[in-house]
Amino acid sequence: MRKHDSMQTISAGATLSPWRIFRLWARIGLESFGGGSATTLLIQRIFIDDLRLLTREEFAQLWSLCQLAPGINLVAICILLGKRFGGRWGIGIALAGFLLPSGSITCLLAALYASIARFAAVQAVVRGVVPATGGLMLVVCINFLRPLFAGTINKRGIAFPRILTTVLLIALAVFGVIALNLSAILVVFGSAVIGALWLAPSAPSADPAPQETVL
């Protein structure tokens, strides 16, 4: 990443060149060894921390939309960010950059793995990599938690009811999936219903995010 990229702040209406979009997503696809956790973390680092094209809250909002879409959430976020910074063509370019190089390597690795999987050394390496991906996913969790707890501790004190609500809703989702074996889609929509009934503000927001910040 060039130094000046990390220093500048780009406005909400910023666009990126097709080649830049392709390179960014190819980098995300190729550098994010370890699966979804590593990929999400890289997207956050590049678009939020390095390029400063998004805030954490904007990313969390886009990611929430992706939970409503079928299929791989990372592909959905790639589509949304591709459109936001490159329009319709940006979608195809972002997808091509994200999936073609990494998908090709995955295919070649499958061919290679088929020939060496029997070796103990390969199995040992995999046993080290798999838990590390769990640790990376935990970092992604923490990044998504931050906006939920934002403002709960300030000069006026600690907002215990809000903290308890947050913890309770998260625990309900975990319990639903792990203990009750509910489908992820059901948990997402159930949480949406609970949120609509319980977490809705008393009045419409006077200053909602502009449309451009979503797409």
Restricting to residues 107-166, name those near other proteins by CB under 8 A: 107, 109-111, 113-114, 117, 120-121, 123-142, 144-145, 147-148, 166
Could you tell me which of 10, 1, 12, 15 has the C-alpha nearest to residue 90?
Answer: 15
CB 27, min distance to other proteins, A: 10
Contacting residue, 73, 86, 90, 93, with other proteins by CB under 8 A? 73
CB 154, min distance to other proteins, A: 19
Do the Cβ atoms of 56 and 47 come closer than 8 Å? Answer: no
Residues 87-106 as x/- pattern, contact with other proteins by CB under 8 A: ----x---x--xx-xxx-xx
CB 99, min distance to other proteins, A: 6
Among positions 4-43, residues that touch other proteins (CB under 8 A) are: 29-39, 41-42
Q: Looking at beta carbons only, is 13 or 103 nearer to other proteins? A: 103
Tokens of 109: 């690795």
Could you tell me which of 95, 102, 93, 101 has the C-alpha nearest to residue 17?
Answer: 93
Q: Looking at beta carbons only, is 155 or 200 nearer to other proteins? A: 200
CB 3, min distance to other proteins, A: 16
Do the Cβ atoms of 77 and 61 come closer than 8 Å? Answer: no
Could you tell me which of 144, 143, 25 has the C-alpha nearest to residue 83?
Answer: 25
- H/E stretch holding 119 reads none
**Does 205 interact with other proteins (rule: CB under 8 A)?**
yes
Could you tell me which of 164, 166, 188 has the C-alpha nearest to residue 176?
Answer: 188
